[in-house]
A and B are shown apart, each in its own frame.
Chain A
Amino acid sequence: MWYIWDLSILLSALSLAIMLLLIARRVLQERRGRAAADQRRQVLTALIAFTESRDREALKATVLGVPAGVAIDAGFEFIALLRGEERDDVLVAFNECGLPARVARQLRKGNIAERIHAAEMLASLGSDDASANLLAALAQDRAREVRIAAAIALCDLGSLPLLGTALDFIGVAGQRSRRLIELFRRFPRSRFNELAVHASRADASPFVRAAAIDALAHAGGFGFADFFAGLTGDAAPEVVAAALRALGLTGHGQAPAILKRAMANDDWDVRAAAAESAGRLGLPELAAPLSRLLDDEVWTVRYAAANALRSFGQPGELLLREIAASEVSRSQRTASLILAEGPAA
């Protein structure tokens, strides 16, 4: 049993030695940290001065006089506050100081957090080779979070490859991320067709298809109403629910019939989406199926249906009062609860 003792002494001594080294490292870091904070202040002061004087040489002298990492961090935060010509001038100065090259290196060599940040910075700095570096990251980076960040940055630069190709690069695991919603919302109008094609692909993941529909509904407008109406017959409930919510935003001639049919769907999310959209579009002709949904087994559906009825104004309120005054049932309770809900204080 001696080995238990010997090993414990060895491991404890080793851990204490490592800890002492880390404490020594921290002492050094504290000193460097103070210097870095001073340098950061210098850069920010120079940037503020530049916005008034436009003296590019003075700004460059300050930027080149501090470590590139400090200049990049302070500079990136500052340019987020600038717009127009002022911002362009700062970017030219940064480019002349070689900061984008340094950021590109961080995109290749940093840890995951640094690489994601580098992708965002490259999109802001907008240097000549930013797209090439980001494309390389999209195609080759081993972390899906970085690949998604690179795709978003490329989209901002207008250099995103075809959506199918980009999603292939992002990979199956990355296609579960809500960051895709952000990517799709940044899509330029000229490329909405790609989103539509992807949204109608039966072999694509329902989550991605729903995200594409959501982006089109928010930015594409009525032009896609027929397309959404077509997708309400899809086999994937997630896609159908997204299409119904999209119809609630755009409206459609066939909306009452489509929503009525959807209110009888087996999937509760589809029924809830149909009820929400009926309320948003203000379709009092759907009052009868909506009042049937007040008896739905899922609370979310009942609540959406009651809210939709209430949004119809007086006719809906009257119907709710009638149901609330009827015999005790699930519908009656839902109606009385929704009627009791006053505005929060």
Chain B
Amino acid sequence: MIADWSHEVVLAATILSWFIIGAGLAQTTVYLLQLVFAGYALSKRPPVARSALLWQRYGDIAPPIALLVPAYNEALNVVESVHSMLALEYPNFEVVVINDGSKDDTLQRLIKAFKLVKFHRPYEEALAHQPIRGLYSSPMTERLFVVDKENGGKADAQNAGINVCRAPLFCVIDGDSILEPDALMRAAQPFIDDPERTIAVGGTIRIANGSSIEAGRVREIHLPRRLLPLFQVVEYLRAFLMARLAWSSINTLMLVSGAFGMFRRAEVVAVGGFTKGSMGEDLDLVIKLHRHMRDKKRKYRIQFIPEPVCWTEAPETLSVLARQRSRWQRGALECFFRYRSMLFNPRYGRVGFLGFGHILIVDVLGPVAEVLGYVLIPAFWLLGILSAEYLLAFTALIFTYGVCVSVCSLILEEAELQRFPRARDLAVLTVAAVIENFGYRQLNNFWRVKGWWQYLRGNQGWGEMTRTGLGAAKK
């Protein structure tokens, strides 16, 4: 049948197919490499068992930390979140909630719950941000401060928090997230072990949907009952346990999640803080830190450690998830093109080659090549332009390697961390790791291509993130 088509058509189809398969091969190779690196890193760094031991070991020498919590229209969760943050087990920390001009009664709820009163606190105006309307403190606890400012977006609010805070380290966390009680102590460990070189540390984000939550704490861990958040559990395992741990082990970590990341204040101020208006302000900041430290030829470490855990609510509906994924895609593209001069630039070493190479393969080319493949490869085969070999190779790269990578992430989790409490959970996740490659993965790529399109059209909207509230919905 191939002979029926002109040489030019076959040649064009072959080149296109090779581009698609080549992109898939590159992506799969990156994932397999990451698995090897992550497995090695985990085997070298077994988890510290109990938080009581950590307190005993590090309690006296733990550096002060400011917990920055930007809040925009978070009235539903904010009081419970702040209560849980104030109950964290860490000797020396302050919680700075930044009300970013919320339209709902976020500030009023805080004022009422914590009997806040206005006060003055001198601070360094090191970073630019929208004007601050007032600072509040609470007679109930000396650890809590609230910054009320005009709306300027998440990055703007975080910059205001950085200005106001006084600790040498700060930790950013989303207002609707829940930190494990020992998360700060665990995340601070690299800053204790290597205080001169460590400039940023990221921890694990886990999905709380389905778990039982009381008084701002995750009391019992359960898997989500709905399919969509269940797939995201597998996705997060891949992202955190495989990708971040792998790149962290060779100091090429490109992303410390804005939902839970700890930074040294001085370096963040030196790079100008979070970039205002950025879709991926967390990725943007880490790239700036890499660039700054390498330009200054300073030794540094940006680390991911799996033990500190922050729980978050995953989107449960297709429309909300679609908006989130398109936004993440725009954020990745924005950062890639903003700092494109770092790509394969020998001056930036591994960050330029591996870190940016990863963004190029996985975020820039990956979704486009994959979606093209879904349409073209089966079409070429059905029309008899290409042989079944191409179809099989594409199927292998998308489906079977996809299953392998997802299940291997789960293997890493179970072999080294064992954070899912029941054997039944593992069985459910194994099934999810297989079937997410048939439908969910394709949807995700479609949303990412949509993100590409929005990026090209200059769409800068965040989209509405509808939340049910962690404490309310899952008791």
Q: Which of B408-453 contact A (CB under 8 A)?
A: 408, 410-411, 414-415, 418, 422-423, 426-427, 430, 434
On whether the beta carbons of A181 and B48 are closer than 8 Å, the reply is no
How extensive is the interface on chain B, given as a class? 35 or more
Q: Which residues of A have CB within 8 Å of B408?
A: 15
Q: Which residues of B have CB within 8 Å of A27?
A: 423
Q: Which residues of B have CB within 8 Å of A343?
A: 119
Q: Which residues of B have CB within 8 Å of A338?
A: 122
Q: Which residues of A have CB within 8 Å of B117?
A: 345
Residue of B nearest to A180 (CB): B61
Q: A113-B46, A338-B122, A345-B137 are in contact. Are A8 and B389 (CB under 8 A)?
A: no
Q: Which of A178-201 contact B (CB under 8 A)?
A: 178-179, 181-182, 185
Q: A12-B407, A16-B430, A145-B193 are in contact. Are A182 and B121 (CB under 8 A)?
A: no
* Complex CA distance for A116 and B50, rounded to whole angstroms: 13
User: Pick the contact of B423 from A7, A26, A113, A306 — CB < 8 Å?
Assistant: A26
Count A/B pairs, Cβ under 8 Å. 145
* Complex CA distance for A48 and B45, rounded to whole angstroms: 35
On whether the beta carbons of A299 and B126 are closer than 8 Å, the reply is yes
On whether the beta carbons of A11 and B119 are closer than 8 Å, the reply is no
Q: A18-B411, A177-B194 are in contact. Are A23 and B426 (CB under 8 A)?
A: yes
On whether the beta carbons of A11 and B139 are closer than 8 Å, the reply is no
Instruction: Provide the B372-403 mask, 1 if CB < 8 A to any CB of A, else 0.
Output: 00000000000000000110110111001101
Q: Which of A1-44 contact B (CB under 8 A)?
A: 1-2, 4-5, 7-9, 11-12, 14-16, 18-20, 22-23, 26-27, 30
Min C-beta distance of A174 to chain B, whole Å: 9
Q: Which residues of B have CB within 8 Å of A2?
A: 389, 392
On whether the beta carbons of A1 and B192 are closer than 8 Å, the reply is no
- Does A176 sit at the interface, judged by CB under 8 A? yes
- Does B124 sit at the interface, judged by CB under 8 A? yes
Residue of A nearest to B429 (CB): A19
On whether the beta carbons of A22 and B411 are closer than 8 Å, the reply is yes
Instruction: Provide the B17-50 mask, 1 if CB < 8 A to any CB of A, else 0.
Output: 0000100010000000000000000001111110
Min C-beta distance of B307 to chain A, whole Å: 10
Residue of B nearest to A299 (CB): B124
* Complex CA distance for A306 and B121, rounded to whole angstroms: 13
Min C-beta distance of A16 to chain B, whole Å: 6
- Does B138 sit at the interface, judged by CB under 8 A? yes
Q: A5-B396, A12-B404, A12-B407 are in contact. Are A111 and B122 (CB under 8 A)?
A: no
* Complex CA distance for A345 and B193, rounded to whole angstroms: 36
Q: A4-B393, A5-B395, A113-B46 are in contact. Are A23 and B427 (CB under 8 A)?
A: yes
Residue of B nearest to A28 (CB): B423
Q: Which residues of A have CB within 8 Å of B422?
A: 30
User: Pick the contact of A178 from B126, B195, B393 — CB < 8 Å?
Assistant: B195
User: Pick the contact of A345 from B56, B57, B119 — CB < 8 Å?
Assistant: B119
Q: Which residues of B have CB within 8 Å of A120?
A: 53, 56-57
Min C-beta distance of A7 to chain B, whole Å: 8
User: Pick the contact of B411 from A15, A300, A341 — CB < 8 Å?
Assistant: A15
Q: Which residues of B have CB within 8 Å of A342?
A: 119-120
Min C-beta distance of A190 to chain B, whole Å: 22
* Complex CA distance for A1 and B403, rounded to whole angstroms: 19
Residue of A nearest to B143 (CB): A344
Q: Which residues of A have CB within 8 Å of B52?
A: 77
Min C-beta distance of A6 to chain B, whole Å: 8
- Does A264 sit at the interface, judged by CB under 8 A? no
Q: Which residues of A have CB within 8 Å of B397?
A: 4, 8
* Complex CA distance for A114 and B49, rounded to whole angstroms: 9
How extensive is the interface on chain A, given as a class? 35 or more
On whether the beta carbons of B423 and A177 are closer than 8 Å, the reply is no
Instruction: Provide the B184-227 mask, 1 if CB < 8 A to any CB of A, else 0.
Output: 00000001111111000000000000000000000000000000
* Complex CA distance for A345 and B142, rounded to whole angstroms: 8
* Complex CA distance for A5 and B400, rounded to whole angstroms: 8
- Does A334 sit at the interface, judged by CB under 8 A? yes
Q: Which residues of A have CB within 8 Å of B393?
A: 1, 4-5
On whether the beta carbons of A345 and B122 are closer than 8 Å, the reply is no
Q: Which residues of B have CB within 8 Å of A344?
A: 119, 121, 137-138, 142, 145
A11, A20, A182, most chain B CB atoms within 10 A: A11
B138, B139, B423, most chain A CB atoms within 10 A: B423
- Does A94 sit at the interface, judged by CB under 8 A? no
Residue of B nearest to A185 (CB): B60
Residue of A nearest to B425 (CB): A26
Q: Which residues of B have CB within 8 Å of A182?
A: 60-61
- Does A303 sit at the interface, judged by CB under 8 A? yes
Residues of A participating in the B interface, judged by any CB pair closer than 8 Å: 1-2, 4-5, 7-9, 11-12, 14-16, 18-20, 22-23, 26-27, 30, 77, 80, 111-114, 116-117, 120, 145, 176-179, 181-182, 185, 207, 299-300, 303, 306, 334, 337-338, 340-345
Identify 24 residue pairs between A and B in the complex whose beta-carbon atoms are under 8 Å apart, listed by A's number.
A5-B393, A12-B403, A14-B404, A19-B410, A19-B430, A22-B415, A22-B426, A23-B414, A23-B423, A23-B430, A26-B426, A27-B423, A120-B56, A176-B193, A176-B196, A177-B194, A299-B124, A303-B122, A306-B122, A344-B119, A344-B142, A345-B115, A345-B116, A345-B119
Top 3 closest pairs, chain A to chain B, by CB: A337-B122, A299-B124, A8-B400
| Given contact pairs A2-B389, A179-B192, a sample of 8 additional A-B residue pairs in the complex whose CB atoms are under 8 Å apart | A1-B389, A4-B393, A16-B430, A22-B426, A112-B45, A178-B195, A182-B61, A345-B115
Residues of B participating in the A interface, judged by any CB pair closer than 8 Å: 21, 25, 44-49, 52-53, 56-57, 60-61, 63, 115-117, 119-124, 126, 136-139, 142, 145, 191-197, 389-390, 392-393, 395-397, 400-401, 403-404, 407-408, 410-411, 414-415, 418, 422-423, 426-427, 430, 434
